[in-house]
Chains A and B, each alone.
Chain A
């Protein structure tokens, strides 16, 4: 085996000093061989980014870094800036998470790439410009010569990330570190960018360190995985070993808490109780001990080292990994031993999974929300002094759906497709621009203010960012009591306690403030507030997308239990299709202000009919290495068209793979001329496509 290109050993990073010091990274080590792809996964704050910045020598000066980083055999930790700059961008380069701010706004994209070329290669300005155009072409930017002259703000997020990748491979590096390169992107764009990264790797033969919190992204992309928890590596091994034969309870929990796109039926998610420890107050022994269902007294004695388990080069940092390896504790049962964890589980409210109320046929249940032909257009203004209307943004352009009692409708689509606008139109309870919204049998256009108040009571909302939607100066008790008092409840105390129990929080927590809680707990408070007035319909706007997977699972379970127990209906707006598959009964897929496909969730996921749904589902990476490797993706070309200028006829046609590859010229004409309406093509499954047909993609 060849020598590693990058070898990190015993990397430690501390911010600050004294009692407030944050020991963000503790003893991270890995070796990367030429051309190898290593995935680093872990939840927010586990030290992934700090590790990679430390390797690049890009941490702020107040960070203390010890250990060793050897790049092609040379120690670069603590090297002089002169030596470091010779490596950076040439031998080792980096792609950052946020494409929006990764490029300097005042320079042309081409010039920024050319700059990267000229730092390390002695070429003329023109040659560097030519190379920049070549690189843009390589990463799949159409019209590269022309686009090179554009400024970053004229690029979409996906294009900017491509430009950043072009910059990273400009000097044929040996190692590329990618820190969550696709997290900020939509799934179809993520699929494109991952493809570009694969191309980049083929072209340069570079080894890649892929940092992500998305277990799906890693599964099909990497050779080896390193799982981080609380600043430490807790398990490493080949991707198959770690995914199929995890040996560390944290890894097992992480894999169990991911909602799966490929598994139908209601498999109950297994959340990991509790929260990751804060890096300035680590528990004495194993940092996972407070959340671990297998914890034994010996776990607190000392932090277990990362030691080899079983055959191969797999390692795990757990004193009981051996027992799991030997099969004495089957991985599937680790979390089944509920109550074993010291955190204790709050008594699971309501019945568990599987057990659902006897199904009343959909047609016989009452309609709680009906939207028909809803339209919301915004004027597009230009000019600072003389504002003038230059067009119309077709944010929502004629959509319709209904939600029945006890049902969850998932509304999904990429950013900018009109989900939030739809939701705001519904919540406003006013006459829409066009179309009708009927909430609980009352038409919003004809509502009196009295009726509006009554409907407000029955329809509640939960927002994405729990901290922003809770007043930081109010205690939890006051937050929950407020809606009760507004609606005339004299003594809200008992109800507040009841609500806290209902969402799995401790009654004693009522006196605390929102900022004293973790993200998942705050979202529970938001849910409790929505439940206070016993609503019948809850509108949820991306309620779990700000949470880590292990926490998210608990909130999803809670929402499911509440729905079953209280007979609620949900309108669940999300961009994560795996979460929606898990929680929704029906799903509506939006594209550019219209519904592309709508129907019963398993039908849509198993056999999607609209080419957009098919592409969307096929773009989502599965946390299953074998499936991922054998999957054939339907890649969409290009970016979402502007909602101010949707294409004529079918608005998906500019990116539709079917339009491009399958249809004859005669058939295409229809797509160009005639806008398809949603046709119901099967029992509870409809698609807005002239040539819809069922395909299996997951």
Chain B
């Protein structure tokens, strides 16, 4: 198992290097940071712009490959360079990572756990009222784009807030800028900001997980081993949880690890709409501001996250399912 993991990690390192290098080349070749300094009034002297660009390692007059080497040298030392606005990329991303993590951890846990429970129960009551309603609801959620869903939530929240003397959920930002209260007041404020984006994120996940889990569970429910378990004298509920759900949970758990990796940079819409300054938001912003270094760093991080997630999901799969355990 250790050898297997080591080989796999090595494989991944190579993949990350290749993916990130390509991303850098592509970003550096396609984005034009010089444009950020054009059309200003008063115009900035070209020599100043050049100096600034060279300082940022973004000067298109330097050959691409040379810029790449400079950048790669920095990355090798753990330094992803400087943003167009001046701050170090590392610091910015570290802060954003914290923001995104706060958002997706809760959203994902809530979404997957609820989704799995809904799906499993729907399967047990196949064609029952619960099954029908949950099926309909999840198709509805899956059919409308995140943007629309999020805006519907905002409209609903604003309406609810309007009915109350004081708003209970905030529709934008991570916390209220001027809030001053003590620790508890701050915490409550942050939770109030967290509610809407979390709901918006987990609704989609519930829909996906419940469909997925329902199918897995149906496969397992028809299997003889559930009847064997009941023929042994287990109650139906125990047999369903201990034998059926445990077996049918394997794919969902491995999928969980994978989703986690993908969401680290994949919650763009949710972050943008709710004004959370996370990774996903920065991916779009950095392209918009021709920030080559940030784009490359985010790509690198995305590759890393996805590969680590898939490694984690493979390991989890092996741990949970004796059938695929190696050696």
Q: A residues touching B (Cβ–Cβ < 8 Å)?
A: 53, 56, 58, 81, 85-90, 93-94, 96-98, 101-107, 115-116, 119-120, 151, 153, 164, 167-168, 383, 385-386
Which A residues lie within 8 Å of B178 (CB)?
none
In the complex, residue of chain A having the shortest beta-carbon distance to the beta carbon of B221: A60
B96 within 8 A of A: no
Complex Cα gap A485–B32 (Å) = 65
- CB atoms of B230 and A106 under 8 A apart: no
- CB atoms of B232 and A119 under 8 A apart: yes
Contacts A151-B322, A385-B8: A104 and B234 contacting too (C-beta < 8 A)? no
Complex Cα gap A38–B132 (Å) = 44
- CB atoms of B233 and A89 under 8 A apart: yes
Complex Cα gap A97–B223 (Å) = 12
B324 to chain A, nearest CB (A): 8
- CB atoms of A119 and B234 under 8 A apart: yes
8 A Cβ contacts from B241-270 to A: 243, 246-247, 250
Which A residues lie within 8 Å of B235 (CB)?
81, 85
Which B residues lie within 8 Å of A116 (CB)?
232-233
- CB atoms of A386 and B233 under 8 A apart: no
Give the interface centre of B228, B236, B323 by most chain A CB atoms within 10 Å: B228
Select B233's contact among A85, A101, A104, A385, beta carbons within 8 Å. A85
- CB atoms of B225 and A94 under 8 A apart: no
B7 within 8 A of A: yes
Q: B residues touching A (Cβ–Cβ < 8 Å)?
A: 7-8, 11, 223-225, 227-236, 243, 246-247, 250, 320-323, 326
In the complex, residue of chain B having the shortest beta-carbon distance to the beta carbon of A151: B322
- CB atoms of A167 and B232 under 8 A apart: yes
Give the interface centre of B229, B231, B235, B323 by most chain A CB atoms within 10 Å: B231
In the complex, residue of chain A having the shortest beta-carbon distance to the beta carbon of B326: A383
A310 to chain B, nearest CB (A): 38
A88 to chain B, nearest CB (A): 4
Which A residues lie within 8 Å of B230 (CB)?
58, 88
In the complex, residue of chain B having the shortest beta-carbon distance to the beta carbon of A119: B233
- CB atoms of B224 and A385 under 8 A apart: no
Which A residues lie within 8 Å of B247 (CB)?
104-106
- CB atoms of B228 and A90 under 8 A apart: no
- CB atoms of B323 and A105 under 8 A apart: yes
- CB atoms of A89 and B232 under 8 A apart: yes
In the complex, residue of chain A having the shortest beta-carbon distance to the beta carbon of B244: A104
- CB atoms of A104 and B225 under 8 A apart: yes
- CB atoms of A98 and B232 under 8 A apart: no
- CB atoms of A96 and B233 under 8 A apart: no
Report 10 cross-chain contacts, Cβ distance below 8 Å, ordered by A residue. A85-B235, A88-B233, A89-B233, A96-B228, A101-B224, A104-B225, A104-B228, A105-B323, A116-B232, A167-B228
In the complex, residue of chain B having the shortest beta-carbon distance to the beta carbon of A102: B224
- CB atoms of B228 and A105 under 8 A apart: no
- CB atoms of B227 and A96 under 8 A apart: yes
- CB atoms of B228 and A164 under 8 A apart: yes
Contacts A104-B243, A105-B323, A106-B246: A58 and B225 contacting too (C-beta < 8 A)? no
Which B residues lie within 8 Å of A106 (CB)?
246-247, 250, 320-322
- CB atoms of B228 and A103 under 8 A apart: yes
In the complex, residue of chain B having the shortest beta-carbon distance to the beta carbon of A386: B7
Complex Cα gap A102–B322 (Å) = 16
- CB atoms of B7 and A153 under 8 A apart: no
Which B residues lie within 8 Å of A151 (CB)?
322-323
Which B residues lie within 8 Å of A386 (CB)?
7
- CB atoms of B228 and A102 under 8 A apart: yes
Complex Cα gap A56–B11 (Å) = 53
Which B residues lie within 8 Å of A119 (CB)?
232-234
B5 to chain A, nearest CB (A): 11
Which B residues lie within 8 Å of A88 (CB)?
230-233
Which B residues lie within 8 Å of A87 (CB)?
233
Q: Which 8 A-B pairs have the closest CB atoms?
A: A89-B233, A151-B322, A89-B232, A94-B231, A116-B232, A101-B224, A119-B233, A104-B225
Which A residues lie within 8 Å of B233 (CB)?
85-90, 116, 119-120
Which A residues lie within 8 Å of B232 (CB)?
88-89, 93, 115-116, 119, 167
Complex Cα gap A106–B324 (Å) = 11
Complex Cα gap A115–B234 (Å) = 9
Which A residues lie within 8 Å of B321 (CB)?
105-106
- CB atoms of A153 and B322 under 8 A apart: yes
Which B residues lie within 8 Å of A102 (CB)?
224-225, 228
Which B residues lie within 8 Å of A105 (CB)?
225, 247, 321-323
B92 to chain A, nearest CB (A): 35
In the complex, residue of chain A having the shortest beta-carbon distance to the beta carbon of B325: A151
Which B residues lie within 8 Å of A101 (CB)?
223-225
Complex Cα gap A120–B235 (Å) = 12
Complex Cα gap A104–B230 (Å) = 12
In the complex, residue of chain A having the shortest beta-carbon distance to the beta carbon of B246: A106
Complex Cα gap A85–B230 (Å) = 8
Complex Cα gap A386–B250 (Å) = 23
In the complex, residue of chain B having the shortest beta-carbon distance to the beta carbon of A94: B231
Complex Cα gap A385–B14 (Å) = 14
- CB atoms of B11 and A385 under 8 A apart: yes
Complex Cα gap A86–B229 (Å) = 13
Supplied contacts A102-B228, A105-B323, 15 more A-B pairs, CB within 8 Å: A58-B227, A86-B233, A88-B232, A88-B233, A94-B227, A103-B228, A104-B246, A106-B246, A106-B247, A106-B320, A119-B232, A120-B233, A167-B228, A385-B8, A385-B11
B226 to chain A, nearest CB (A): 8
Which A residues lie within 8 Å of B234 (CB)?
85, 89, 115, 119
- CB atoms of B250 and A98 under 8 A apart: no
In the complex, residue of chain B having the shortest beta-carbon distance to the beta carbon of A93: B231
A165 to chain B, nearest CB (A): 11
